[in-house]
């Protein structure tokens, strides 16, 4: 263990995002649904955090609140000490691959958020991110002609192009086949290690969470609260058959109430 400890990179201690007593209640017609209950969470600058929970538990709602698309019923989110009041180009939300604009080419999508930049700089950045996500040769292609994995990479590129300091990813690889998914996880880690954005990643896949995150936030069933926070103290690239990996993963399995031998 001590050896591993030294390999783990030093975690930046500055708080980036802070959720304080966040509650969310939806009213639809006469039905009231309590979705989030007293969520408290701190995320450090440059940290990779996974929100993990079963489908429909409210983790995507929490992410939408963090991104400013929804206003919590009570409590608030602070980012860099400021209360979040709406979406902001400094923090980009990545939807499943459906979020790319089908009426724009690959170039048009990547350049979408760069409209305030002068043209030469915009083109330079577009070219840089086209290359980063490996879409060279597809610059003039429209999204319906791309594969699911390519669309997903395109959306990540569109988000990175505006140089945000945070990324919110909502089950971004959920619709991909398992091989593409593995590749995309590797790509995301590579980008994260190069650019050091703070990333909050929603998933219902335990393996995905343990492979990617610095910390895994295990959410309870609805109304969701933070059940446990698990630090993943394994350096990247992670050996998914190492005893420590299996131990952490099984621990989370148990936490989530699915305890079983694999």
Q: Which of 8, 25, 123, 142 binds another protein (CB under 8 A)?
A: 142
Query: Per CB under 8 A, does 93 bind another protein?
Result: yes
Residue 106 backbone dihedrals phi, psi, to 5 degrees: -55, -50
DSSP assigned state of 154: H
Q: Which of 2, 10, 137, 144 binds another protein (CB under 8 A)?
A: 144
Q: In the stretch 99-118, what mask flags binding to another protein with x, by CB under 8 A?
A: x-xxxx-------xx-x---
Query: Per CB under 8 A, does 17 bind another protein?
Result: no
Tokens of 157: 């590129």
Q: 8 burial class (0-12, 13-18, 19+ CB within 10 angstroms)?
A: middle
Q: What is the CA radius of gyration of the chain?
A: 19
For the segment 145-184, give every residue that binds another protein (CB under 8 A).
Answer: 145, 162
Q: Which of 23, 38, 54, 69 binds another protein (CB under 8 A)?
A: 69
- Expressed in percent and rounded to 5, the helix, strand and coil fractions of the chain are 35, 25, 35
Q: Which of 95, 183, 236, 255 binds another protein (CB under 8 A)?
A: 95
Q: Which of 92, 110, 135, 169 binds another protein (CB under 8 A)?
A: 92
Query: Per CB under 8 A, does 48 bind another protein?
Result: no
Tokens of 2: 């001590």
User: How far is it, in rounded angstroms, from Cα 202 to Cα 206?
Assistant: 11
Least distance to another protein from the beta carbon of 219, Å?
A: 22
């Amino acid at each position: 263990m001590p050896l591993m400890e030294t390999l783990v990179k030093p975690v930046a201690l500055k708080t980036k995002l802070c959720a304080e007593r966040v509650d969310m209640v939806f009213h639809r017609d006469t039905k009231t649904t309590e979705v989030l209950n007293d969520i408290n969470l701190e995320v450090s600058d440059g940290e990779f955090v996974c929100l993990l929970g079963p489908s429909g538990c409210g983790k995507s709602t929490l992410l939408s609140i963090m991104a400013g698309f929804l206003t919590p019923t009570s409590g608030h989110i602070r980012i860099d000490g400021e209360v979040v009041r709406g979406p902001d180009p400094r923090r980009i939300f990545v939807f499943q691959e459906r979020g790319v604009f089908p009426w724009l080419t690959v170039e048009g999508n990547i350049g979408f958020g760069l409209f305030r930049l002068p043209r030469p700089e915009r083109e330079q950045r577009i070219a840089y991110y086209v290359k980063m996500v490996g879409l060279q040769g597809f610059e003039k292609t429209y999204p319906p002609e791309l594969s699911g994995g390519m669309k997903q990479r395109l959306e990540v590129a569109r988000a990175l192009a505006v140089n945000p300091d945070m990324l919110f990813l909502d089950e971004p690889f959920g619709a991909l086949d398992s091989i593409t998914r593995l590749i995309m996880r590797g790509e995301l880690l590579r980008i994260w290690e190069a650019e050091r954005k703070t990333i909050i990643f929603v998933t219902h896949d335990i393996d995905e969470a343990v492979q990617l995150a610095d910390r895994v936030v295990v959410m309870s069933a609805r109304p969701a609260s933070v059940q446990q926070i698990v630090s993943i103290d394994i350096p990247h690239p992670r050996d998914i058959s190492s005893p420590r990996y299996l131990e952490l993963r099984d621990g989370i399995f148990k936490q989530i109430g699915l305890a079983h031998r694999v």
